[in-house]
Amino acid sequence: MSRTTSRTQRWFNAVARWLLRSPLHRVLSGKVMLIEVTGRRTGRRYVVPIAYAERDGAVLMGVAKATWLRNLAPHRPVTLTVRGERRVAHPEVITDEDRVAELYPAILRHNSAHGRIQQLRLEPDGSVNRADLRAGLDRGLVLVRLT
């Protein structure tokens, strides 16, 4: 990531964190939520705005190359702020191509900008393009299911 991209991302994240915690959260909260993760060794708290979708009572998010992902484990609950409401969830990090292909279309249908950023397309039948998905997984893309 370039220095300019990193600076822009930090600025966006700070604005998004403020907005998602404020009464104005409705501007973003239909597509972006906050996830709070505690570092497994340092105890440091990370609060990250991230695109999400909901499916079958679970919150889904696609993430690529994020260092805070190392802190996710099913036995370590995280806190989500979704549409202004805080809730505790247990993360499941999914990297199996078939399982990711099954769940990822929900994210792409809910947030087309996420698809452009992650370079993933939906096929006419609504499934995720497998070549795009394999390339994403090779770049470090994972799907996180939060229940």
| Domains: count for the chain | 1
Give Cβ neighbours of residue 59 (< 8 Å, ≥ 6 apart).
Answer: 33, 52, 53, 80, 82, 89, 145, 146, 147
- CA 58 to the chain's CA centroid: 13
Residue 97 to residue 48: CA distance in whole angstroms: 25
Give Cβ neighbours of residue 54 (< 8 Å, ≥ 6 apart).
Answer: 60, 106, 110
pLDDT exceeds 70 at position 42: yes
Residue-number span of the structural domain to which 111 is assigned: 3-146
Please give the model's pTM, rounded to 2 decimal places.
Answer: 0.88
CATH code (residue 95): 2.30.110.10
Residue-wise pLDDT tens digits, 73-120: 999 999 999 999 999 999 999 999 999 999 999 999 999 899 999 999
